[in-house]
A and B are shown apart, each in its own frame.
Chain A
Amino acid sequence: MNGYSRRDFVKSGGALLALSSLPLSMVELAFGKGDAQRFTFAYISDSHITQIKGREFVRNWDRGLIRAVTEANLLDPRPDFFFYGGDIAQLGKRAEIDHGLDILSALRGQTHYVIGEHDYYLDLGDYWRKQLGPDHYSFDHKGVHFVVLNSILTYDHWTHDRWGSGEERMQQMARLDNPQGSPFMVGEAQRKWLQQDLSKVSRDTPLVVFSHSPLQKIYKGWNFWTDDAEQVQALLEPFAKVTVLYGHVHQIQTNQIGNISFHAAMATAWPWPYPATYRQQASYLPKLTVNMNRADPFFERDATGWQFIDLHSGLANVHYTLPGNRNRVVAFDEKLGHPADLRYRLAANREPSQTHY
């Protein structure tokens, strides 16, 4: 007979778990009020809304974005604002951008947008900027300086001279494993802009930088890559507390390079494998990463999700909201000096579905 103890069940519902699944109100209680720099914002990314024809869109990606918006609206108290991390559309079409913005309009609060390559390469961001304003900008909020970059640009020749049409160029950029792809970059012009922008910010002001590409070099074959990553990181290096939040990779990734914490967003649409699972090429994985679970493809929302960020004294805790799985908190550990997954930091605590091979 299979013997078991009731105590085993009760043990698994311990206090540590509370932190990773509670909505905001409980997070505040856990951390205690009184930190003037404490506030939260929600971060949704990579919806890849795809038009089939007319008003018919791929149901799976629609439902993913709807689910994230519906859940994010439950946050109580409300987050200060929302961020959208890029790739609203799949092929950059107006219908796709409009449909995505329509779904996102249900968010209860102001939303700031980051551009992704799937939004950009059809018309080089024309329609995006018309609807949403500049694709790179900055603002201040409660003592934190927010910067949004367009980090999915690439070489001029590939962008302007290589392809016969915007549609063809977009199709090429849409394919992740494209041998004819071209690496992402922030580019010289924007780096100059960033340098200018940051020159007006004091060194002890916390920075949060939004970028679609990782601002790191992870795996070039899938464009998990920013070609001028080191140069951008060098511009951020003088600041005491920097957090980079990026999309594009559709998986949990965590890293710390010097003073910069890096966090990847989950996609609402579909998950991507970790690059190391492609055995024919070498890749680098941000080394603090504790893998997300492997998806059960039956559940269309498995290994997708959204996140909310809880900033305290300029340091970020990322709360990953994962349908069908235990939610995760990757919190900045001041003793360690880098972020760490609260529940799964120790290998012994990991679940089988977190093993990717």
Chain B
Amino acid sequence: MNRTYRQRSVPRTLALVLFAGCTQLQADPFSQADLMRWQQEYASVVERGEKLFHGGLGNPNTVSCDQCHPNAANTHPETYPKFQQQLGRVAALWEMINWCIQNPLESPPLAADDSRLIALQAYITQERKGVKLDPGKH
């Protein structure tokens, strides 16, 4: 009985597997081409972040992030979320970026999903690539 079942089901199972391969029924379907494209898109956002960081925000007082943070040094993205004294509570990186935009840069804060804020975070984190996560570190 088993043997009959097996004989008839092998080709069917095989067919199913092949079929799955062709139509990408795995959980997370993306290709090498997708990866490369997305990496380039990310790089373009990092590039935009780099420009914004280096005077591209257009704030009237002309102060730019790179004046205190060349190459985004001393921004410590790997330590967020953490207690941020200037905000009086535990906060995330984007909130501290906004604090800097409002205070040394004397400019209105950006919305959390503002593409400029995303770009800034991308650049800041990219410049810190490889540094171990250490959330909460002051």
Name the segment of A124-132, A150-158, A269-277 touching the other chain.
A269-277
- Tell me which of B60, B66, B73, B100 contacts A52 (CB under 8 A): B60
Chain B residues closer than 8 Å to A297, beta-carbon distance: 68, 86, 99-100, 103-104
Chain B residues closer than 8 Å to A278, beta-carbon distance: 70-71, 73, 127
User: Are B70 and A222 closer than 8 Å at their CB atoms?
Assistant: yes
Main secondary structure of the interface of A (DSSP, over half): loop
User: Are B63 and A58 closer than 8 Å at their CB atoms?
Assistant: yes
Given A50-B62, A52-B62, A280-B127; A296-B85 close (CB under 8 Å): yes
Given A277-B73, A298-B86; A272-B66 close (CB under 8 Å): no
User: Are B70 and A177 closer than 8 Å at their CB atoms?
Assistant: yes
User: Are A60 and B104 closer than 8 Å at their CB atoms?
Assistant: yes
Cα-based distance from A175 to B54 in the complex (angstroms):
8
Q: Does B128 sit at the interface, judged by CB under 8 A?
A: yes
Q: Does B74 sit at the interface, judged by CB under 8 A?
A: yes
User: Are A177 and B62 closer than 8 Å at their CB atoms?
Assistant: no
Per-residue 0/1 for A154-177: is the Cβ within 8 Å of any B Cβ (1 yes, 0 no)? 000000000000000000000111
Closest chain-A Cβ to B62's Cβ sits at a distance in Å of 6
Chain A residues closer than 8 Å to B60, beta-carbon distance: 52
Chain B contacts with A in 88-131, Cβ cutoff 8 A? 99-100, 103-104, 127-131
Closest chain-B Cβ to A82's Cβ sits at a distance in Å of 25
A-B contact count (CB 8 A): 64
Chain B residues closer than 8 Å to A295, beta-carbon distance: 68
- Tell me which of B70, B86, B99, B100 contacts A272 (CB under 8 A): B70
Given A60-B104, A298-B103, A356-B74; A176-B66 close (CB under 8 Å): yes
Closest to B50 in A: A177
Per-residue 0/1 for A205-225: is the Cβ within 8 Å of any B Cβ (1 yes, 0 no)? 000000000000000011000
Q: Does B39 sit at the interface, judged by CB under 8 A?
A: no
Chain B residues closer than 8 Å to A271, beta-carbon distance: 68
Closest chain-B Cβ to A299's Cβ sits at a distance in Å of 10
Q: Does B67 sit at the interface, judged by CB under 8 A?
A: yes
Q: Which 7 A-B pairs have the closest CB atoms?
A: A177-B70, A273-B74, A273-B73, A176-B70, A278-B73, A177-B71, A277-B73
B residues whose Cβ falls under 8 Å from a Cβ of A: 54, 60-63, 66-71, 73-74, 76, 85-86, 99-100, 103-104, 127-131, 138
List 25 A-B pairs, Cβ < 8 Å: A50-B63, A58-B61, A58-B62, A175-B54, A176-B67, A177-B71, A271-B68, A272-B68, A272-B70, A273-B70, A273-B73, A277-B73, A278-B70, A278-B127, A279-B128, A279-B131, A281-B71, A296-B85, A297-B68, A297-B86, A297-B100, A297-B104, A298-B86, A298-B103, A300-B104
